[in-house]
Homo-oligomer: A and B are copies of this chain.
Amino acid sequence: MHAVIYVCNLTALAAVAATSAFAQSTVTIWGVVDAAVSRGTSDANSVTRLVGSGISSSQLGFRGTEDLGGGMSASFWLEAGVSNDSGAGGATSTNNQSTGTGATSATGGAVTTTGTQGLTFNRRSTVSLTGGFGEIRLGRDYTPQFWNWTAYDPFGTNGVGTNRAMANSVALGGTTASTTGTAVRASNSVTYLYNHAANATYAGGGAGLHAAVQMYYGENLSDSATPKDGDGSGIRVGYNAGALSTALGYGQTKFAAGNMTMTNLGASYNFGPATLMAQVTKDELGTVKGDGMLLGVAAPMGAGLIRASYSTYETGTAESKQTAIGYVHSLSKRTRAYVTYANVSNSGGAKAALGGATGVADKSSSGFDIGMTHSF
């Protein structure tokens, strides 16, 4: 009684199309459901949770590309984050602020608890035109200044092993660049991509030089007190040559509460038995300055993959240092089981914590994920 959708590759589609009257266009539905039992422990407390996105971000999406002829194509991409431990969706921002997102619930007249957020295409919501000149993309997408954090992290900014530059807010009181509305994604953006496959993510830069340049709007009236609040721009320039991949990212956003800049440089080299990764980060948010680095390795072993990283982040005297190690076992190309363990130590007043536990200044914390991920 149900709609069973063909899952096929495009070669097969073309083969069938050759003998039938199929139109040329396709819609791709895809997703990830990743769930883990996660345990976090600190000097203050501990917590056991079922969490989503332990090694890959749970999502449901719809996308497609239409060939317009003459080397041109049009594309769309609608990708929703899924909190699959509860079935809730994920918040987005309409004005590039970190406030003003999410949903609330109320008991009586007072807002007492956080309500559940419905599905939004918070991960990406774009329409594009691609040609020999590159790609123009309109909507909500990753910022150029974010992408190196995840591309050169063996844990891909998911789970307890996420590098400290991305996770630093807990360590440093929630006032660093990663806590702002445009550290990862921006709404109301126009992006130009050079040497990327049509409709690809930023990671999809082709061989040789590739680049992404983006500007985004806070959409304030010109006579408001802060007309540029949430306006910003970013650039990422990278180079891929065989085993080597490297990229430089920079972005700035004007915020009424203090301007943000993010600068980062990452690189990876695939030695065959293992891929080594490194990145350095320099952030500013108002008068706060932050510095981070990461060294990481991803080593395939048969159907398995060993991942490890060492990352730090400091602002002023406060510093957090984290070691993470994990193992991923592929049950198929689409299904993997995994374990990750990480430990973070703090000094100078830093209070980073892992796995949902509460940080304590100058004390260490550990986190552990065990789970599975399935993509479709």
Interchain CB contact under 8 A, B50 and A27: no
State the CA gap A216–B222 with chains docked (Å): 42
- Within A71-121, the residues touching B (CB, 8 Å) are 72, 74-76, 78, 80, 82-89, 91-94, 97, 99-107, 109-121
Nearest neighbor of A97 in chain B, beta-carbon distance: B113
Known: A75-B374, A86-B93, A376-B64. A47 touches B221 (CB 8 A): yes
Nearest neighbor of A124 in chain B, beta-carbon distance: B87
Interchain CB contact under 8 A, A118 and B115: no
Residues of B within 8 A of A93 (CB): 86, 116
Interchain CB contact under 8 A, A48 and B217: yes
State the CA gap A304–B236 with chains docked (Å): 36
- Asked if A265 lies at the interface with its beta carbon under 8 angstroms from chain B, I say no
State the CA gap A127–B222 with chains docked (Å): 46
Per-position 1/0 for A6-45, Cβ under 8 A of B: 1111111101100011111111111101111100000011
Residues of B within 8 A of A112 (CB): 99, 109
| CB proximity of A31 to chain B, nearest CB, Å | 7
Nearest neighbor of A34 in chain B, beta-carbon distance: B127
Of B9, B49, B62, which is within 8 A of A29 by CB? B62
Of B36, B85, B357, which is within 8 A of A140 by CB? B85
Nearest neighbor of A93 in chain B, beta-carbon distance: B86
Interchain CB contact under 8 A, A103 and B118: yes
- Asked if A184 lies at the interface with its beta carbon under 8 angstroms from chain B, I say no
- Asked if A5 lies at the interface with its beta carbon under 8 angstroms from chain B, I say yes
Interchain CB contact under 8 A, A26 and B6: yes
- Asked if A349 lies at the interface with its beta carbon under 8 angstroms from chain B, I say no
Interchain CB contact under 8 A, B9 and A4: yes
Of B105, B119, B334, which is within 8 A of A120 by CB? B119
State the CA gap A3–B23 with chains docked (Å): 9
State the CA gap A69–B21 with chains docked (Å): 27
Of B64, B82, B94, B139, which is within 8 A of A121 by CB? B82
Of B15, B30, B92, which is within 8 A of A116 by CB? B92
- Which of A110, A117, A358 is most buried by chain B, counting CB atoms within 10 A of its CB? A117
Interchain CB contact under 8 A, B50 and A138: yes
Known: A50-B217, A110-B111. A28 touches B45 (CB 8 A): no
Interchain CB contact under 8 A, B221 and A358: yes
Interchain CB contact under 8 A, A335 and B187: no
Known: A120-B118, A138-B35. A50 touches B331 (CB 8 A): no
Per-position 1/0 for A361-374, Cβ under 8 A of B: 00000000001111
- Asked if A226 lies at the interface with its beta carbon under 8 angstroms from chain B, I say no
Interchain CB contact under 8 A, A139 and B87: yes
| CB proximity of A206 to chain B, nearest CB, Å | 20
Interchain CB contact under 8 A, B33 and A4: no
Residues of B within 8 A of A354 (CB): none
Known: A72-B331, A103-B118, A119-B89. A12 touches B3 (CB 8 A): no
Interchain CB contact under 8 A, B22 and A127: no
Of B2, B6, B45, B374, which is within 8 A of A127 by CB? B374
Of B3, B91, B103, which is within 8 A of A26 by CB? B3
Interchain CB contact under 8 A, A139 and B26: no
Using a CB–CB cutoff of 8 Å, the interface residues on chain A facing chain B are 1-13, 15-16, 20-31, 33-37, 44-50, 60, 62, 64, 66, 68-69, 72, 74-76, 78, 80, 82-89, 91-94, 97, 99-107, 109-127, 129, 138-140, 187-190, 216-217, 219-224, 331-335, 337, 356-358, 371-376
